[in-house]
Structure 1
Amino acid sequence: MGVPEADGVAAKIASRLAESRGTPISVEAARLLPAGASRATYAATLVAGTGRVEPIIIRAVPAATDDGGLRAEAQVLRAAASAGVPVPEILDAGFDDGPNVLGFPYLAMNFIDGESIPRRILRDEAYVGARARFVEQCGAILARIHRIDAAQTPGLSELADPIGGLRQLFPREFDAMPAGLVLATQWLTDNRPDPSPRQCLVHGDFRLGNLLIDSEGVAAVLDWELVHLGDPVEDLGWLCAKAWRFGGASPVAGMGNRDVLLDAYAREAGWRPAEEALRWWELYATVKWGLICAVQAARHLDGVERSVELAAIGRRSAEQEFDALLDLGLVTPEAVPDPLTESPGVDPNDDLYGSPSAVELLEALAEFLRSDAMQAELSPQVRFHTRVAGNVVDVVRRQALLGARDAVASAQRLDALGVADQAALCDGLRSGELDGADPKVRDAIVADVRARLLVANPKYFAVPHP
């Protein structure tokens, strides 16, 4: 089944709501929004017979053999609303065991106005007040989420063993994770914090990007697809993970400090998580996001969803490796010059292929992708992807300049440790043949991570890490 047209979907939902409310409702506008591969999301504007305009969101699973998680999401949204969590109101829902005007699973919800783009939230003047209240609001909201009675949301999966959960969720990526993340995973395994007082409902993806923000603060908590049962500090750690600070200098989503978050949580929850536990879950989030970067790249490489954005995300695992080494105290933030601003270097193939060199051709391509002439007539979505493409070209340029030198240096380091390649290095760490506490092993891992990050994103070396 293809994705149904927005007008037809909206008309059926309008008819359903008109019947339940006993008043005529028409559709003023409807459109399909960008969404994941398995779900369709529609925005529609309805008009009641009284003239009241009502914007709504419809989430649907047209092609799935099951409900795509919508039934569980509906249960969680209703329970969250009862617990005082700001969430969209479910106006109508259809599954396979009751009224279903679409013929496939769906949720119709009220539209909540707000901003979800992190860089706007962190920088725009309109959100100054929201930024001041954000951390305390999040502490209180998370405490309310964690108070939800799990009996209201039966059937949720449970994350009893966090490390085992990573292996279960991402088996291929877990076995192939790079050395910096292997080192971090071993530290997590050896330094588990005391468990929280109880397992509870965990949002699973509570962060900037999944929160709607208005001038007063958090207007709604969105995207409950990863909800599960687990340790409540998982949500706090995910919110504080460096990946979700978007360049901000403060640990909680770039907007505040850990003690403010923990104090606000304690006031609502009646207990205060230890900061050591919070930092453990922050490092866990770094490892998890590093694995998800590999999952995203695999979607492109496996042909599931060919996308330059997904391909680019694969190289971002170097950022997560570096963050893990920061947490382990093996590196410190520092400003590092971009190789592309240095001497262009010499391509050994220049003599054969002539001028311009491969690196110079890539530079011309990057300049074209970023040019005003290229950007002027593009839609915002295509403009974003051309910027991503320009960044990918820069990654390839840096690798063309540094790759041969770095490969020789890495091979020499690994040879001194008695291993042949990166896979053997990681296997040696896992088996215990290589000691992750050995300074020579750590120095080799640090040097390789630095080489990967210098190619992927040299600006990242200087990002604050409070």
Structure 2
Amino acid sequence: MGVPEADGVAATIASRLAGRRGTSLSVESARLLPAGASRATYAAALVEGSGPAEPIIIRAVPAATDDGGLRAEAQVLRAAADAGVPVPEILDAGFDDEGNVLGFPYLAMTFIDGESIPRRILRNDVHAAARARFVAQCGEILARIHRIDVSQTPGLGELGDPIAGLRELFPREFDAMPAGLVLATRWLADNPPEPSPRQCLVHGDFRLGNLLMDAEGIVAVLDWELVHLGDPIEDLGWLCAKAWRFGGSTPVAGMGGRDELLDAYAREAGWRPTEQALRWWELYATVKWGLICAVQAARHLDGVERSVELAAIGRRSAEQEFDALLDLGLVTPAAVPDPLTEATGAGAGAGAGAGANEDLYGSPSSVELLEALAEFLWSDAVQADLSPQVRFHTRVAGNVVDVVRRQILVGAAHAEASAQRLSALGIADHRALGEALRSGALDGTDEEVRDAVVADVRARLLVANPKYFAVPHP
């Protein structure tokens, strides 16, 4: 079944709501929003008589053989609203044949105006007051989420042992986990935190980007698709993960400190998690996001969703490896030169990794051709005439070109040095390194082993994103 046209979906929902309200509603506008592969999301504006437009959002699963998770989402949204969590109001829902006016599962909700793009929230003056309130609001909202009556949300999955949960969620990626994340996973398993007073409903993706904000603060918590039962500190750790700070110098989404978050949570929840437990879940979040990076890249590589953005995310796991090493105290933030800025002088454009074939093919070298392509993708002439979505993907493409350029320049030297390190450890390749660390055949606390892991992670990050070495990590 294809994705139904927006006008028809909106008109059907308008008729449904009009019948319930005893009035007439017309559709002023309707459009299909970018969404995932399994769901369709529509934005529509409904008008009653000569009144103002009423914007709504319709989430649907046209091709689902069941309710596509929307029934559980509706239960959670209603329970969250009852607990005082700011969420969109459900206007209508259809899951079964009876009363389902669209013929497939759907949720119609109020549209809440606000900003969700992290970099705008962190930088724009209009959100200055919201930034000042952000950490305290998050602590309060999370405490309310965690006291939701789970009897209102039957059937939710439960995260038992967190490490086993990662293997269950991401089996292929867990088995191929890079060495930096393996070290972190072993440390997490060996140093579990004290359990929280009780298991509760956990949002699962509470972070900047899923929080809608206006000039005064958070107006809605969005994207409840990963909700489950588990330890409440999982949500706090996910919020504080470095991936969601977007370059900020403070741990809570770049807008505040851990103590402020824990104090705000305690005021609403009646108990205060320890910073030790919070930091454990932060490291867990780093490992989890590193695995999700691999999952996203696999969607592209497996042909599920061919996307330059998904392909690029695969290399971002190097950032998570480096963050894990920071948490383990094995590295410190420090600026390093970008190989692209150091590749100057006669003949430097070919690079050590370009190989002898450069002489055969002549000038420009492969690196110089990629440099020209990157300059084109980043140029104002290209960027100025693109839609925001295409402009974003063009910038991603420019970053991908730069990654390839760096790998050509330094890849051969990195590969040779890494092979020597692995050989000294009696290891054949990087997958074998991860397996040896996971099984205990290699001691992750051994200095020589750790030095080899750190060197490899540094090599991966230097190619993927050398600016990341200097990002603060409080």
Give the TM-score band, short-chain normalised.
over 0.9
Aligned pairs for 1:377-396 (under 5 A) are 377-396=385-404
Q: Secondary structure at the match of 1:108?
A: strand
Mapped pair 1:259 → 2:237: no
Q: Cα deviations across residues 298-343 of structure 1 (Å, max 9, x unaligned)?
A: 0000000000000000000000000000000000000011100002
Partners of 1:258 and 1:364 lie apart in 2 by 45
* Cα distance, 1:97 vs structure 2: 5.1
* Cα distance, 1:378 vs structure 2: 1.5
Match of 1:451?
Answer: 459
Match of 1:117?
Answer: 117
Aligned pairs for 1:390-405 (under 5 A) are 390-405=398-413
Q: Cα deviations across residues 210-262 of structure 1 (Å, max 9, x unaligned)?
A: 00000110000000000000000000000000000001111000000000000
Match of 1:192?
Answer: 192
* Cα distance, 1:36 vs structure 2: 0.4
Q: Secondary structure at the match of 1:55?
A: strand
Letter in 2 for 1:395: V
Q: Secondary structure at the match of 1:282?
A: helix
Aligned pairs for 1:211-226 (under 5 A) are 211-226=211-226
Partners of 1:10 and 1:25 lie apart in 2 by 10
Mapped pair 1:406 → 2:406: no
* Cα distance, 1:275 vs structure 2: 0.5
Letter in 2 for 1:225: E
* Cα distance, 1:66 vs structure 2: 1.3
Aligned pairs for 1:242-257 (under 5 A) are 242-257=242-257
Match of 1:169?
Answer: 169
Partners of 1:196 and 1:50 lie apart in 2 by 54
Q: Cα deviations across residues 7-56 of structure 1 (Å, max 9, x unaligned)?
A: 00000000000000001010000000000000000000000135132100
Q: Secondary structure at the match of 1:229?
A: strand
Partners of 1:216 and 1:156 lie apart in 2 by 33
Q: Secondary structure at the match of 1:296?
A: helix
Mapped pair 1:463 → 2:471: yes
TM-score normalized with structure 1 length = 0.99
Match of 1:203?
Answer: 203
Partners of 2:49 and 2:200 lie apart in 1 by 44
Q: Secondary structure at the match of 1:37?
A: coil
Aligned pairs for 1:66-465 (under 5 A) are 66-96=66-96, 98-344=98-344, 345=348, 346=351, 347-348=354-355, 349-465=357-473
Partners of 1:351 and 1:50 lie apart in 2 by 73
Partners of 1:188 and 1:194 lie apart in 2 by 12
Partners of 2:383 and 2:235 lie apart in 1 by 38
Q: Cα deviations across residues 185-209 of structure 1 (Å, max 9, x unaligned)?
A: 0000000001000000000000000
Partners of 2:64 and 2:223 lie apart in 1 by 19
Partners of 1:307 and 1:23 lie apart in 2 by 45
* Cα distance, 1:113 vs structure 2: 0.5
* Cα distance, 1:290 vs structure 2: 0.2
* Cα distance, 1:297 vs structure 2: 0.1
Gaps of 5+ in 1: none
Q: Secondary structure at the match of 2:36?
A: coil
* Cα distance, 1:382 vs structure 2: 0.8
* Cα distance, 1:377 vs structure 2: 2.1
Partners of 1:3 and 1:185 lie apart in 2 by 41
Q: Secondary structure at the match of 1:88?
A: coil
Q: Cα deviations across residues 398-444 of structure 1 (Å, max 9, x unaligned)?
A: 00001100000000000010111101111111121100000000000
Q: Secondary structure at the match of 1:102?
A: coil
Partners of 2:3 and 2:31 lie apart in 1 by 12
Dislocated runs of 4+, deviation >4 Å: none
Letter in 2 for 1:163: I
8 Å CA contact 2:86, 2:219 repeated in 1:
yes
Letter in 2 for 1:40: A
How many residue pairs align between the two structures?
466
Partners of 1:310 and 1:160 lie apart in 2 by 29
Partners of 1:261 and 1:98 lie apart in 2 by 45
Letter in 1 for 2:403: V
8 Å CA contact 2:250, 2:257 repeated in 1:
yes
Partners of 2:63 and 2:208 lie apart in 1 by 29
Partners of 1:426 and 1:291 lie apart in 2 by 14
